[in-house]
Structure 1
């Protein structure tokens, strides 16, 4: 049976919703049945023992089991491990187990190993809030490994080629005895390719890639926020020996703004108003990032800390429609410099106060009096 047709749950004889105790019990029974010590010289029993071990290695671990349930055997392929993989999963410890049993990894078909794609790269890009609002095209410079021009990424000196590896004889793998088991691993001489260079390229020393400064154009879409990730496919590290390159991920960081604070698609700002405007009402005008002026009506009698919203005057929705809101927090400012005339008018006002003008203050002092009487 091909490796891609073997189901780990069927191997252990359990259902897909079996708990950990059931899986462990089933594995112990099968391991005891097929153990090489109980079946000396029985190659089939030894192979079944290895397969049971591989199945249990995955299903006993919640993280690996979840990846297997979702992706099947593809969760453990060489491409999944070396090319970005599945989020949060680390299956590097399973490679030797699967290669030992199936001779080359799930879905790979055995034989020589294929060169892995190049590594993914990260670049941190800072933009201001205006750029995050409007979006922009910008250029970045990244030092990255690219395919060697001299050898076209092959790693071989021009005019030369490759020859069969004299250690693995072209198989790409070597075997070693470890206790009861024969372990098959990628050949360290040819790195699993089965071939070695006749003469390494003088520029890249056989790597097939060289470090080079690259200038790349990046499109920043409107509405980006801290942590927004932009993927440039094929702009990562070049793969060895002509393998495909990885990807470049741009992580956006939005600089703090002097006026606005951001929360998702909403913008916040604090606006001080005079105590007369707070008492009588009025209007404030706030220039927006879009170039338009947002007019905020101040209702009479507003208190400090009150928030007013201007719908649709916030940040654009990333890759969507519409905008968030502009939230204005009012701060009532007490005057610190008064003319003689202003002081006189305030005293006249004070003489006419009855306490009903500020019900919150009056209520507080009444509660205070009751508490201590």
Structure 2
């Protein structure tokens, strides 16, 4: 066991001495985290290294966890704390707020959610059509979630009442259980279920939310969908998840692009087909085309238009990020008649004869 503990030495992982100050530990972790962050380092080893240095920092930056580690090694940490407990209390967002990285998403993927064991995030699917993107990338969706109770402003306390210390955890927000092991007395820490980790409870609870500070509601949210969104992409709406104890989770939307039978998208251009009567293709004509948003567009068909030719209508494609739109590109499909009247046959025969004479001259 001692060899295994030496192999996973938190001080060695961060490159600091065993008597390093909190500031030295913090600075060492910041440098290593920025070096191995998955957005910066794409190597296969970077992800495991990032997890390793983060666990080391979570332990050594907490005086109580560090003391337990110094006394009993990593076995002492694993026997006393769950993975959630190891990372609880470390403000990674504040630690990296000046670097422009979204560390919350990375920690969510690697280590799970640390909001007292209760996930405040919501995940659901969203169907996106080409029409949604064409009309500006906005779509209204319905989300069922816990929201802050308006009657008590999310406190759970009846107006005029006050907060009192939780009688179960005595204000700590945690329940500790002790047990003896070969390494000494170990402590298991769990979230207090009475106060949900807050350490206090209302003397008189709000009658609307029964003291929870939140109510279940179905909300309508307008989503801004990126114009270059891909099928299977995951969109994050910060603060649109469940509410609990003054905190809001995030809403994650799994995008499903709905195929369109008439239209296709390539970049900011919109593609479709335009059926043209064979006589209009020969002689030229004016026709109308029903665009994806229901607009009727006037189309000028040039004389002697060939099957497979394209007609480009400027500014009728998808909106661009800052200004302007792409183009609507129509591929001509010349429509031939399935049957002819006697009069039409006679006229076409006469036209063929004229064409032959023209070619001979």
Within the candidate set 186, 198, 207, 1:202 is matched to: 207
**Cα contact 2:69–2:76 (8 A) shared by 1:** no
Q: Which runs of 5+ in 2 are unaligned?
A: 1-20, 57-66, 84-90, 97-101
Cα distance change of structure 1 residues 51 and 44 upon mapping to structure 2, 3 Å threshold: closer
**Cα contact 1:270–1:330 (8 A) shared by 2:** yes
Give the aligned partner of residue 87 of structure 2: none
Using structure 1 for the length normalisation, give the TM-score: 0.54
Give the aligned partner of residue 268 of structure 2: 265
Cα deviation, residue 210, structure 1? 1.9
Cα distance change of structure 1 residues 245 and 130 upon mapping to structure 2, 3 Å threshold: closer
**Cα contact 1:145–1:211 (8 A) shared by 2:** yes
Give the aligned partner of residue 298 of structure 1: 302
**Cα contact 2:238–2:251 (8 A) shared by 1:** yes
SS of the residue corresponding to residue 175 of structure 1 reads strand
SS of the residue corresponding to residue 338 of structure 2 reads coil
**Cα contact 2:288–2:296 (8 A) shared by 1:** no
Matched, 1:5 2:26: yes
Structure possessing the higher radius of gyration over alpha carbons: 1
Q: Which runs of 5+ in 1 are unaligned?
A: 32-41, 59-71, 78-82, 96-112, 358-373
Deviates more, 1:168-177 or 1:201-210: 168-177
Distance in 2, matches of 1:254 and 1:336, equals 37
Distance in 2, matches of 1:353 and 1:76, equals 82
Cα distance change of structure 1 residues 147 and 121 upon mapping to structure 2, 3 Å threshold: farther
Matched, 1:46 2:71: yes
Structure 1 residues 242-257: aligned runs within 5 Å:
243-246=246-249
Instruction: Provide the aligned C-alpha RMSD in A.
Output: 5.6
1:48-76 Cα distance to aligned partner (Å, 9 max, x none): 647998xxxx9xxxxxxxxxxxxx94499
Cα deviation, residue 45, structure 1? 3.2
Give the aligned partner of residue 103 of structure 1: none
Distance in 2, matches of 1:280 and 1:92, equals 69
Deviates more, 1:221-230 or 1:263-272: 221-230
Give the length in aligned residue pairs. Answer: 292
SS of the residue corresponding to residue 109 of structure 2 reads coil
Cα deviation, residue 341, structure 1? 2.5
Give the aligned partner of residue 314 of structure 2: 311
Using structure 2 for the length normalisation, give the TM-score: 0.56
Cα deviation, residue 320, structure 1? 1.8
